[in-house]
Amino acid sequence: MTAVIRRKPLHLAVGVTLAIGLVLSAVVSMTGTTRAATSCTGYGYQAGYGYGYGYDTGYGYGCPGSTASSTTSTTQVGPGGGNLGQDNNLDDKVEDGYCIIATDGGVFCFNDQFSGSTGNIKLNKPIVTSADSPVATGAYYLFASDGGVFTFGGAPFFGSTGNIKLNKPIVGAAVTPTGKGYWLFASDGGVFTFGDAAFFGSLGNVKLNQPIVGGAASSTGGGYYLVGADGGIFTFGDALFFGSTGNIKLNKPVVAIMVAPDGKGYWIIATDGGIFTFGSAQFFGSTGNIKLNKPVVGGVAASTGRGYVLVATDGGVFCFGEVTFFGSTGNLRLNAPVITIKP
């Protein structure tokens, strides 16, 4: 079993929801200033599957159903990424657009605001995650495996571990609800706090069955979650435990966790796109039974909790529930692999 470290008595549970199919059909977007984004209902849930070219022409694979058009833009496209779409509602909802982040810090935005990247900068260590800041529209962070912190669009800098010798690399990060601080999470469960981010505990001195692969703040910011490669869940502060896959044999390792907006559940994501739901987090589909070109590395939940989007290392984007497909880098030759996606 995987131990769950809490400030309250230990409490273990197991839960899993399995994918049962995905309906796919091709949709081609023609040359011009608009591109159709697709979604559909299949086997009781909305599903979308797509790869799209991020300039004025494109194509995608998706399910037939309602469509929504988005205006494309070729501004600021370069070695470090740029705007691949224009955002008409900049409020950090993945329903309105998203940005794909590569390990070199390249940022590729679809119907979302591009504020900069490190794509043309020589980094000491690769980028491992990203997070939005609530302080300004288009404000976001890129975080490197050595704890280096890169700020864009007015996101404030509160410090880093870039000049500290870490026992293990950084694998995740989260920004506080105020935007006045952030947490960095290491693969040994070490937690590093900056600004108004409070320390609620860590696993730095605990022997883990599998390394930590990611983390997330609780919905209130009064705690945080750490997730292991086996799906073990470790909760701190007011983060609530609803179960894990720590004692289940998985087809592929876990790579990320998404917390439900109500704070009463979460999704665990595996590299094959398998989705495991706990608490209030609902299942809207997965790629667990689809042969992928590249492994899934991250995801973002809809602000309503009624869907999510997954991203693979080639920038392929997979949308489920109330999330629209705006494009991807799945058919582009990238300088570095994709590592995460942000709203």
Residue type, 8: K
Domain of 254 in residue numbering reads as 25-342
- Is residue 17 in a domain? no
Strands 212-217 and 81-83: unpaired
| Dist CA 139 CA 182 (whole Å) | 14
Token pair of 111, please?
């119907």
Note the pLDDT of residue 92: 73
Assess if residue 4 is contained within a domain. no
**What pLDDT does 91 receive?**
55
Q: Give me the CATH number covering residue 324.
A: 2.120.10.30
Q: Indicate the number of domains in the chain.
A: 1
- Residue 259 in contact with residue 266, Cβ under 8 Å? yes
pLDDT of 68: 25
Q: Is residue 11 part of a domain?
A: no
Looking at the domain assignment, is residue 1 inside a domain?
no
For residue 263, give both structure tokens. 């704070």
DSSP notation for 223-275: EEEEEETT--EEEEETPPP--BSTTS--SS-EEEEEE-TTSSEEEEEETT--E
Residues recorded for the chain: 343
Residue 224 phi/psi, 5-degree rounding, is: -160, 165
Structure tokens at 306: 């009624």
Residue 16 lies in a domain: no
Nearest alpha-carbon partner for 209 in 2, 14, 4: 2
Asked if the structure places residue 30 within a domain, the reply is: yes
Query: Is residue 18 one of the residues assigned to a domain?
Result: no
β-strands 107-110, 98-102 pairing = antiparallel
| Positions of the chain with pLDDT under 70 | 1-91
Q: What is the pLDDT of residues 194-247, one digit of tens each?
A: 999 999 999 989 999 999 999 999 999 999 999 999 999 999 999 999 999 989
State residue 154's pLDDT score.
Answer: 97
pLDDT of residue 53: 24
Q: How far apart are CA 117 and CA 336, in angstroms?
A: 13
Angle at 324 between CA 43 and CA 114, to 5 degrees: 155
- pTM comes to 0.77
Assess if residue 307 is contained within a domain: yes
